[in-house]
Amino acid sequence: EVKNKIKEAMLAKDQAALITYRNIVSTFTNELVAKGRKPNEMLNDEEALAVLKRMIKKAKKAIELFKQGNRTDLVEKEEAEIKIMEAYAEEKTDHS
């Protein structure tokens, strides 16, 4: 599923989506390893949603810090990534 999103982002030349989906894949893999599972396994939808929620929470915290540092460029980047993650989480919820 996420790998299809990466392919779509590549074809659309959407750098923000490509980076975000690659980050999601990496974070999913890290979650599997942390749970003692093989990196090529898949998380179930509930696990994937939990990871996405943590990623979104972390990005929102980063936005707060970037705003304090007057880094509007990074705020915009994080906000774009949050939108992509939220849309993907919504898709996962709709398919559950």
Cβ neighbours of 95 (radius 10 Å): 8
State pLDDT tens for residues 60-96: 999 999 999 999 999 999 999 999 999 999 988 876 5
Q: If you average pLDDT over every residue of the chain, what do you get?
A: 94
- Residue 93: per-residue pLDDT: 83
The 10 Å CB-count burial string (b at 16+, else e) for 33-65 is: eeeeeeeeeebeeeebbebbeebbeebeebbee
Is the four-CA dihedral 40, 93, 75, 65 of positive or negative sign?
negative
pTM, two decimal places: 0.88
- Residue 95: per-residue pLDDT: 61
Statement: residue 50 has pLDDT above 90: yes
- Residue 72: per-residue pLDDT: 95
Specify the DSSP class assigned to residue 44.
Answer: -
